[in-house]
Structure 1
């Protein structure tokens, strides 16, 4: 990924090169820097670098921090008249002022010989509308500084910020790459009510069905996520307590996307729940029948985020 030696760097852009991108509310940019790369995902899983990268050819840190939540990536160019230590000290001061705790920090040699190469691959070029402004991360990758910090919001949710800064070298600008993960607080109150086997039993006895909101899937996927264990535990407990009970496992989606795709997705998700109950809890599969109905049976409007969230569910329906 090395650029050819001797190529003069681009001048600082007169303005941000990213359309629709903006600074994150948690961290403003270094004074005078321009936003040259941007990407955000509403909810995903991500691993942040939390350790030194050893020279073993793998270009991986000796420790990762696995997270889930809203993920934002920002890349900036700053003036070659400024240095990486000045830029980093300003970010560190801002993180401290925000009450955040440093989890890991390194600079140059203490980051490991392969750290800059690893970060260059991690940053990639996809988030840059003009890859000219990616070059500072290539040229400056042996003159780097990094900090990872964690903070808490009033509602108890966590936010993580990783800041990577490279020096301006070889007539290039300086570079700043920021990763932010906003972890959503576990909806413990909502999930607890639905996770109780006793509550599920009452719902089935009264209404012939019960909605379970504690079974999680990644967007567009049907693999049951590890966070679903508590819900599966209670579903299995319900079936164990009532050995004669047979249920339909019904998968529901919101109305986003097209109906045929959602019907297929909801069917695969329902089947995944059946497989989990059979494999992990030894529930007789003859007592379970998977059916996906997509958005055909909403319990709320699909015109709002809150309504769509209620519609994305798994239901146990008495056979």
Structure 2
């Protein structure tokens, strides 16, 4: 429960090298760790609106990490002790919000999030905190639940002109799985139709990997897709669930164009899903994220192809 979680920010050297250590319950696993020697980060400072998410651009040494925590702890049960430890360590809260007050989908897809599957965010069930220390350090926390696990993302910024971030090691206290570290985002395996429903149940979202979209095109090819057949069967057998179809693009073109294109792709999938079933249309909604949530780098043709996709997000109730 909540007592298992603590965030320890400490001074490791006279010139204060930043270190962060997270103690997790048994079975927890660190999923990603990425250090940027010198970079910039847009610190979210308000709810999403038509103008986007208010943010302050900061520069420095950046440490990005994420963890998965199996169990039934709620988002707030995970976040509260982390937030409390920040305050006790001298941090001042700059902004905090829950999913709806943050701006829901718009906030989640307008802020920096470690790519799936290393960070999973239910757009209806997450919480965010941004905090700043008097010495200039910045920490943001994003906590969400997906399936039977909670996910935690921590982004730390150490001001320029100081030592680089020092990571306190990759072994998690109490964890029974070894941590994995990632460099820059690399391609993640897409989920095939055979594993789609199992992945959807466990993680709350999955890529509809057999759909085909060319650059700039929104229409699906006129052929059957096993993923849609499996999704239709699941929704028919589980009337208490609905889904959100989220379209994604590569980085070819402007953001506004890609957001529109990604939403059109999601809408095309919705149309095909409803054409071939008797599902209530109200159980299938759509959204477009453009290129704001890539699976992998857009610097290669293979990466761009992987990023042109539609994901299904499972919504209970």
Whose radius of gyration is greater, 1 or 2? 1
- Whether TM-score is above 0.5 comes out as no
Give me the TM-score of the superposition, normalised by structure 2: 0.38
> What TM-score comes out, normalization by structure 1 length?
0.37
User: Which of the two has greater strand per residue?
Assistant: 2
Q: Which has the higher helix share?
A: 1
